[in-house]
């Protein structure tokens, strides 16, 4: 059984010392958090922004020293074990530490064994239950290279929605940008529904002109139009008892929307050229990347049809909003494409994965899949990395500048490596700031979304001098 992972809060006004102490604690056993002031420590513990199992507290700090900070912690009834650290020793200092409520006193410079002994002694019962091992991604395979993968909170939420809707035979509107996987969500809905034993048919409403789309959906009788030599059933008839996916429904003509509305209301329609109605039992799923509410305002989409479809709406987030899934998707796509194309699989370097996570993927899963196919065929890791870095390069006509402390310096042109590094730093800092703002500066959540350790995130915040947006 894996040993528990301990959270350690380091409070030291010297960032270099704090980072050094953090580096002494192996990430396999410890999660480290750093603050540089006693007041920051009090605020984080009180707000429960961090949940430390142990605090390493510097005794000598400006404003509020370590002893005063510890006394305030105890006054707030926080019984977190605290080890006081100081360059100064003596019975008086040790006694003051004990009197303030410390469990241990460590003399600087501190060795790794000293910290581990203190934590082992005072935190062995702090976590009665070890945190569960990171869960493997949830994957459901539909064949033909299509699969549903969920590790992010957003996609896990969609999976929960699907489980809920499996009990209800109602229309569902699936929205999201092009390439996010709306069809895959439709397949998931069908598989978990009562109609799973029947077929799922997909119709792309944007691929056909209005008259052809009508005959495709509802069929026609012989002689209904020139060339109609015999009757032909439409998708709704063929799908009786099953599920139909109307993809890109936002592109459907208003006239055809009216006929679809009647199908949703009473399950009946007429073939082109028919004199009688046909009744079917079909569940309708609709997908679109169009802003339907805007289309309604522009009279391109019927409002009554929208309200028939939007009883349940599943919004599939773009890939840039679930970046933590990119490493898993890279691995899954590579494995599947390698099997289909009978090629040996390839691996992704940490630099390539980091670049893939940074890139915003406007084409979403479709673009990611094409990138994987190119890499699998060319097997050129350097070119693949250059391709990604060129895409995440800032689109600007002004000279590139990189934040260094509180100043900015022009990117060095002494060599290609320095230029690439400068661009990478600027892109990385911008992406980290974007994720921090989205997480409302909850560093734990931001670190999880960025797929980096909490300690690495704190280091990069200081490295790039990042601050919350006004």
User: Which single residue is written with the structure tokens 């350097």?
Assistant: 382
pTM value? Answer: 0.57
Model pLDDT, residue 421 = 52
Rounded CA gap, 253 and 181, in Å?
Answer: 24
Are 149 and 277 contained in the same domain?
Answer: yes
Are 269 and 352 contained in the same domain?
Answer: no
Model pLDDT, residue 111 = 81
Helix axes 350-358 and 326-340, enclosed angle (nearest 10): 110
Residue 192 forms part of a structural domain: yes
Which of residues 98, 123, 148 is at a domain's end? 123
Residue 1 forms part of a structural domain: no
Are 303 and 334 contained in the same domain?
Answer: no
Residues spanned by the domain of 194: 138-317
List for the chain the helix, strand, coil content (%; round to 5): 45, 15, 40
Q: Is 110 exposed, middle or buried (0-12, 13-18, 19+ CB in 10 A)?
A: middle
Are 227 and 312 contained in the same domain?
Answer: yes
Rounded CA gap, 239 and 468, in Å?
Answer: 53
On whether the CB atoms of residues 278 and 221 are closer than 8 A, the answer is no
Which of residues 340, 359, 391 is at a domain's end? 391
Nearest to 172 by CA among 59, 44, 308: 308
Model pLDDT, residue 107 = 84
Per DSSP, the three-state class of 236 is helix
CATH number of residue 374's parent domain: 1.10.8.60
Model pLDDT, residue 399 = 34
Q: For the chain, what is the domain count?
A: 4
Structure tokens belonging to residue 300 = 């391109």
Walk along the chain (470 residues) and give the pLDDT tens digit of each residue: 345 567 889 999 988 888 888 888 877 778 889 999 999 999 888 887 777 888 999 999 988 999 999 988 888 767 788 999 988 776 677 777 887 888 888 888 888 788 888 887 777 534 433 344 445 688 898 888 889 999 888 898 899 889 888 878 889 999 999 999 999 999 999 999 999 999 999 999 988 888 889 888 998 888 877 777 888 898 999 999 999 999 999 999 888 998 899 888 888 888 888 888 889 999 999 999 998 889 999 989 999 999 888 878 999 999 999 998 999 999 899 988 888 888 888 888 888 888 898 899 999 999 999 999 999 999 999 999 999 988 886 433 333 333 333 333 333 333 444 444 555 666 677 778 888 888 888 888 888 888 787 777 877 887 777 877 65
Are 206 and 303 contained in the same domain?
Answer: yes
H or E element at residue 256? helix 254-266
Nearest to 469 by CA among 434, 420, 419, 418: 434
Rounded CA gap, 199 and 71, in Å?
Answer: 68
Residue 199 forms part of a structural domain: yes
Model pLDDT, residue 133 = 41
Are 38 and 87 contained in the same domain?
Answer: yes
Are 417 and 382 contained in the same domain?
Answer: no
Query: How many residues make up the chain in this entry?
Result: 470
Residue 219 forms part of a structural domain: yes
Model pLDDT, residue 466 = 82
Are 158 and 291 contained in the same domain?
Answer: yes
End-to-end CA distance of the chain: 46
Are 189 and 277 contained in the same domain?
Answer: yes
Residue 88 forms part of a structural domain: yes
Are 119 and 159 contained in the same domain?
Answer: no
On whether the CB atoms of residues 284 and 244 are closer than 8 A, the answer is yes
Which of residues 123, 153, 172 is at a domain's end? 123
Rounded CA gap, 15 and 458, in Å?
Answer: 10
Rounded CA gap, 435 and 443, in Å?
Answer: 9
Dihedral sign, Cα of residue 40, residue 44, residue 49, residue 55: positive
Residue 131 forms part of a structural domain: no
Residue 337 forms part of a structural domain: yes
Structure tokens belonging to residue 271 = 């073939």
CATH number of residue 208's parent domain: 3.40.50.300
Strand order of the β-sheet with 200-204 is 200-204, 243-247, 283-288, 172-175, 313-315
| Residues forming beta bridges with residue 148, ordered by sequence position | 140
The string of DSSP letters for 297-332 reads HTTSS-HHHHHHHTTSEEEPPPGGG-GGGHHHHHHH
Are 313 and 328 contained in the same domain?
Answer: no
Q: Is 361 exposed, middle or buried (0-12, 13-18, 19+ CB in 10 A)?
A: buried
| Residues forming beta bridges with residue 244, ordered by sequence position | 201, 284
H or E element at residue 104? strand 104-107
Rounded CA gap, 83 and 57, in Å?
Answer: 6
Burial 81-106 (b: 16+ CB within 10 A, else e): bbbbbbeeeeeebbebbeebbbbbbb
On whether the CB atoms of residues 304 and 259 are closer than 8 A, the answer is no
Burial 221-242 (b: 16+ CB within 10 A, else e): beebeeeeeeebebbbbebbeb
Rounded CA gap, 357 and 449, in Å?
Answer: 10
Residue 406 forms part of a structural domain: yes
**From residue 452, how far is each of 287, 324, 395, 458 by CA, in Å?**
34, 10, 26, 10
Nearest to 100 by CA among 73, 126, 138: 73
Contacts of 57 (CB under 8 A, 6+ apart): 11, 38, 41, 66, 69, 70, 82, 83, 84, 85, 102
Are 308 and 333 contained in the same domain?
Answer: no
Within 10 angstroms of residue 417's Cβ, the number of other Cβ atoms is 9
């Amino acid at each position: 059984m894996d040993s528990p992972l301990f959270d350690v809060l380091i409070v030291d006004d010297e960032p270099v010392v704090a980072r050094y102490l953090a580096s002494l604690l192996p990430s396999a056993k410890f999660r480290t958090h750093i603050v540089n002031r006693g007041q920051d420590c009090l605020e984080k513990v009180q707000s429960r922004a961090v949940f430390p199992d142990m605090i390493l507290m510097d005794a000598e700090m400006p404003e509020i020293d370590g002893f005063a900070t510890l006394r305030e912690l105890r006054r707030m009834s926080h019984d977190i074990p605290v080890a006081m650290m100081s360059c100064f020793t003596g019975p008086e200092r040790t006694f003051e530490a004990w009197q303030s409520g410390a469990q241990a006193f460590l003399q600087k410079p501190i060795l790794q064994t000293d910290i581990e002994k203190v934590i082992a002694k005072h935190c062995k019962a702090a976590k009665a239950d070890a945190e569960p091992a990171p869960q493997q991604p949830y994957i459901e395979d539909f064949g033909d290279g299509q699969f549903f993968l969920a590790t992010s909170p957003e996609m896990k939420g969609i999976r929960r929605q699907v489980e809920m809707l499996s009990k209800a035979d109602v229309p569902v509107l699936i929205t999201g940008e092009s390439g996010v996987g709306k069809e895959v969500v439709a397949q998931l809905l069908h598989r978990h529904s009562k109609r799973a034993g029947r077929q799922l048919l997909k119709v792309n409403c944007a691929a056909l002109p209005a008259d052809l789309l009508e005959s495709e959906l509802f069929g026609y009788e012989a002689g209904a139009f020139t060339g109609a030599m015999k009757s032909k059933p439409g998708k709704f008839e063929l799908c009786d008892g099953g599920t139909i996916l109307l993809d890109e429904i936002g592109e459907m003509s208003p006239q055809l929307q009216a006929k679809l509305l009647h199908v949703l209301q009473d399950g009946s329609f007429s073939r082109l050229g028919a004199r009688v109605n046909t009744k079917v039992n079909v569940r309708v799923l609709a997908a679109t990347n169009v802003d339907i509410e805007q289309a309604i305002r522009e009279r391109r989409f019927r409002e009554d049809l929208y309200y028939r479809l939007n009883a349940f709406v599943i919004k599939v987030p773009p890939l840039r909003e679930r970046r933590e899934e990119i490493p898993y998707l890279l691995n899954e796509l590579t494995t599947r494409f390698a099997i289909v194309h009978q090629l040996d699989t390839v691996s992704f370097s940490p630099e390539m994965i980091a670049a893939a996570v940074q890139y915003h993927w406007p084409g979403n899963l479709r673009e990611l899949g094409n990138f994987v196919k190119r890499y699998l065929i060319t097997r050129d890791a350097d070119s693949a990395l250059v391709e990604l870095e060129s895409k995440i390069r800032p689109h600007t006509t002004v000279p590139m500048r990189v934040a260094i402390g509180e100043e900015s310096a022009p990117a060095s042109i002494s060599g290609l490596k320095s230029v690439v590094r400068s661009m990478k730093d600027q892109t990385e800092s911008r992406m980290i700031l974007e994720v921090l703002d989205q997480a409302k500066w909850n560093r734990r959540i931001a670190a999880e979304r960025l797929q980096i350790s909490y300690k690495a995130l704190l280091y990069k915040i200081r490295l790039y001098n990042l601050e919350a947006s006004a």
